Amino acid sequence: MLLDVSLPDGNSIQLCPTIKEKYPQVKILMLTSYNELYTINRAIDAGADGYALKNCMSEELLEGVRTVASGKRFMCAEANVTLADNEDNTLELTRREIELLQLIAEGLMLKELADKMCLGTETIRSYRKNLNLKLGAHNTAELLFNAKAMNLL
């Protein structure tokens, strides 16, 4: 099964344990644009059998499908580099994600966030989605709670 980390109505990392429980024979290869250590680790911890980035070569993706189908773990080359470069397991937030997180903590709403950061509302939504994914949050309260627990605020 090929799954993207980010789905319109949630994220597939949360689906992995359910899929594995109901259909243990199913192999899951995450195919995504997210190349952050935290996301890769969450996907593997949730039961994904492999991780490939959307920008990988078609040959590498085919290798990933074959490897996972044979029962082995697969990590595309770029995800392997991310894992090797971040052996200390630090959470990576961009400067803009940190700025957004701080403004959310101040209680700003979407339009206010966009105005304050001089960005469009869709860009703010995208940053917010990434923050939720990286911090394992489903809503603002959980985002702020997790950020404080990780000493990000």
Domain count, the chain: 2
Q: Are 132 and 143 in contact (CB under 8 A)?
A: yes
Residue 79: what pLDDT?
87
Same domain, 68 and 29: yes
| pLDDT at residue 78 greater than cutoff 60 | yes
Residue 86: what pLDDT?
67
d(CA 31, CA 4): 5
Same domain, 60 and 6: yes
Residue 48: what pLDDT?
95
Over range 65-84, report the average pLDDT: 90
d(CA 34, CA 52): 9
Same domain, 26 and 50: yes
Mean pLDDT of the chain: 88
Over range 26-37, report the average pLDDT: 90
Residue 94: what pLDDT?
83
Residue 100 domain boundaries: 95-149
90 in any annotated domain: no
* pLDDT tens digit sequence for 82-111: 777 766 556 778 888 999 999 999 999 999
d(CA 11, CA 21): 17
Residue 87: what pLDDT?
62
Residue 148: what pLDDT?
86
The first and second tokens of residue 134, run together, are 């990286």
* pLDDT tens digit sequence for 111-129: 999 999 999 999 999 889 8
More confident residue, 40 or 89: 40
Same domain, 103 and 80: no
Same domain, 41 and 14: yes
Query: What number of CA atoms fall less than 13 Å from residue 48's CA on the CB side?
Result: 27
pTM: 0.59
